[in-house]
Structure 1
């Protein structure tokens, strides 16, 4: 997009209305800094937000109901109804209706960003179980958006102020991880990470650490050969081209010694290897960013949290960070003029 005088428009999909998505979204948007920098559009249903505003007593949250993105109010929180009727709100309960609304919100935002009506998407957490059906296999936001934008490859990239962790394999069973760890796959992810660190985060000469797959990074073949036969050859090709790629490192010692602070990015081999330390160290401020897409998408790093839904105890820090991260990446890629 070209430079604009107006603030960027960021769409927020409400996720599962019976989880904490509405609560953390509303709380985050009470931060006065946000409306000074962006124009938010929530894809949900106005009655659901009204319910939670009253139920949670979030009195300083106000919104404008609009019928389409073309009616947007630049200095307000805007809400678009994505379903004709609002499903019954049942905090903490998994329902088919909530799943349909979550998917409708996501599809509506995808359509608007494809039509260049919004500039980025922030997704509140949803529940895969009540979205999946006989006609749709929904694995997660990352995979759904990758298919929607026909991207050759994408990467789940968990980011915080001082840590960025990408994954070679994402939402796959642990038994299938070894099949995913190939020289070609690692190199694809490293290319995405290098490009994202440069283009999205403004780091011109990124330093990247690559983790091993096996305990102690294989311990010279004693505990597995993937490090010597797959990971090291994948790294070597990048190092030969002058890239600052290092490893493979044993993941326990790497994070235990806080070595992630020495690097601009860390590439983990599988989901829990990267996300367990990331969420342990940055849960309240961590952001899930999908690198490799032609659009900007972020989300908080937590799930629907049914156990605390509707109790007014959810921390909005990660949602706020997701909104600001989307804005920061927008500014890095397309500087915005001040009004």
Structure 2
């Protein structure tokens, strides 16, 4: 006799598990603990097997019968319902492991080893902002050009063509990594540069030799801290990158010999970065640069950094400190961007 909802609700547990039969192999297994579980007995290749169909009342009587009928259709087609379900779960697990975000983060962990901390953090952050919210949860093999183009269009609408170019390139690198590791077979970013607005580079302002005297005179008039003024002067005199200067440590300098040895690497746990290409670099110091460094020693309080962060913790000033100071004095200094570089 087929089961009814009333009979199921009124069924009480016993000391041992017991079955309430429905039809065509479907039954309700009542546990001593009170749990009521749907099960389907069937035979495949001459072997008796049991398929779990969920718990009552998460799965209603009608829903359980529908699942039973689907399983019997698979049997009629020569398929084992239990094996089919196992394969589906495995495919879902693989898809979750190979979601775009999962693969992207695996790529990033390898890619970052040859990059500075700032570059690596900027790369993953741009993906977190622009890519993961749109395609992060999708299996990497199911993402097509239209999906990537849609997220690129959102960046394009903001006028951020430089960001668009970088995000597209990084997604392309992620797919190259995925293809090389047998996770994907094609790259949906190919040709998309023709479907979005190209990035146009603009030349940055540059100081001419004839501008230097006026620049330094105006720099003295700006109301910023003395160490930052000295940092700006050193940038002009040494032609190093701002990050290489702000992380500089006194043991790197030989003021008597007029030489600064910028190491390939510094202590990243303190936020210190070395050379961009990770190779030691020798910077000759002019007498003007040496004079500035000697003056700077009076402002460091015996610390090992030339430009220590005033919040302490052994870290340098932030990478925006010098540019921020120049922006504040932009009305007085006519060449802010050039000096910052």
TM range (shorter): under 0.3
Q: Which has the higher helix share?
A: 2
Give the structure-2-normalised TM-score: 0.21
Give the structure-1-normalised TM-score: 0.22
Higher Rg: 2
